[in-house]
Amino acid sequence: MAFEPQSETVWRQADRYAVPRICFVNKMDRLGANFQRTIDMIHDQLGARPIALQVPIGIEDSFSGMIDLIENRALVYRKDLSGDYDVQEIPSDLVAAAAAARERLLETVAEFDDAVMEKYLEGDPISPEEIRRALRKGTLTYSCVPVVCGAALRNRGIQFLLDAVVAYLPSPLDIPPVKGMDPRTSQHITRPASENAPLAGLAFKIVSDPYVGRLCYVRLYSGN
């Protein structure tokens, strides 16, 4: 499993514009899939600090699920494409690998939250909510990159990717108000992410649909 050319290009753009990010290692059911090697490539080729949130169960044709390191449980998918899974005990042959990966996760997130660091040093249990809170801090400050895995065409891992987007990436309220220029007055203005602020948006794409006609896609910054 290797990066596609656009992966590095998009990553450099994210670096340039200071965009927090997460990684999804796709196609874990394909020939040559290797989760750890991909994590190593994220570190070596992109200069990032990846932190795995999961350990895959099986590889290639035998890929059947993943171990959720935050909740410390195994998730085994059903054979259909529903995306449904069963929560199980961690397989015995992966107990040691999962424990080592979870220890690396805890050691990393402890750096981003003083309360978590204190618990980690004291050997006290750290709750999933505390792990997510610290991980969000690390992600928003570009200190780490959470990594999850799956097989998109088989609907495996997609819900966890979406959950990670919500849990760790910034919402419009986490970033400064957008800056722009009033096209009528040429004055530079700002708009907070609020539905009560004046309407401000960017029309970035227009397409023709055979059923509804022309569609205009708009990125809405404020107002409604």
Task: Give the residue, 38 or 6, on which the prediction is more confident.
Answer: 38
Distance CA 208, CA 220 (A): 21
Could you tell me the pTM of the whole model?
A: 0.84
Whether 207 and 60 have beta carbons less than 8 Å apart is answered as: no
Question: What pLDDT shows up at residue 176?
Answer: 86
pLDDT at 35 over 70: yes
pLDDT digits (tens, 9 = 90+) for 206-223: 999 999 999 999 999 999
Whether the pLDDT of residue 43 is over 70: the answer is yes
List the single range of 1-10, 71-80, 190-199 with lowest mean pLDDT: 1-10
- Per CATH, the number for 5-170 is 3.40.50.300
Q: Residue 108 above 70 pLDDT? A: yes
Query: What was the pLDDT predicted at 2?
Result: 53
Q: Tell me the C-alpha distance between 14 and 87, whole Å.
A: 35
Q: Find the mean pLDDT for residues 162-169.
A: 96
The answer to whether the 5-170 and 177-222 domains have the same CATH topology is no
For helices 128-140 and 95-109, give the axis angle rounded to 10 degrees: 60
Domain boundaries, the chain: 5-170, 177-222
Amino acid at 6: Q
Per-residue confidence (pLDDT) for residue 205, from 0 to 100: 95
List of E strands, the chain: 23-25, 50-52, 54-57, 65-68, 73-77, 85-88, 145-149, 178-181, 188-191, 200-209, 213-222
Q: How confident is the model at residue 6 (pLDDT cuts 50, 70, 90)?
A: confident
The pLDDT value given to residue 3:
62
Higher pLDDT, 165 or 1: 165
Share of the chain above pLDDT 70, in %: 99
Q: What is the CATH class of 177-222?
A: mainly beta
Task: Give the bridge partners for 25, in sequence order.
Answer: 149
List, for residues 125-136, the tens digit of each pLDDT value: 999 999 999 999
